Amino acid sequence: MKLQITRCLLFAGILATAWNCSESSATQDSASSNTSSLQIPQNIVVSEPSYFYQLGSNYYVIAPTTMTVSDGSGKVIGTFNTSTGAIMSLSGEIIAINLDLSKMPVVAPAAPTKTLIAVDLDS
């Protein structure tokens, strides 16, 4: 009798483990597909190709040469720590952690749509 109960519990444990492993893979796939379908707002302006990160309704742009972090309007709000993958505000608060730059979309500098002409008004 004890052997049958032990077998049933062992089988139930194996099924639960297999069920949990298959669910975590599906969750990871849906999270990566959400990142790739992320729409970058058109009003973000950068001077160099920069990484884009969205947390809720807040947008963050990470400049790769200086590792400064700006908000959606271009105001510098903090820095990015490459060893921890953390965005830290200027006051030292952690905004986000464990970020992987290689998985973030890149915002490219926008080229002017019209030809600009410089005019010297002093002459």
Residue 113 pLDDT > 70 = no
Residue of higher predicted confidence among 20 and 119: 119
Rounded to an integer, the average pLDDT of 87-104 is 92
How many whole angstroms separate alpha carbon 11 and alpha carbon 54? 43
**In this structure, what DSSP letter does residue 54 have?**
E
25 has pLDDT over 60: no
State the pLDDT at residue 57. Answer: 86
Residues 6+ apart with CB under 8 A from 117: none
Q: What is the pTM of this model?
A: 0.59
Q: In this model, does residue 23 exceed pLDDT 90? A: no
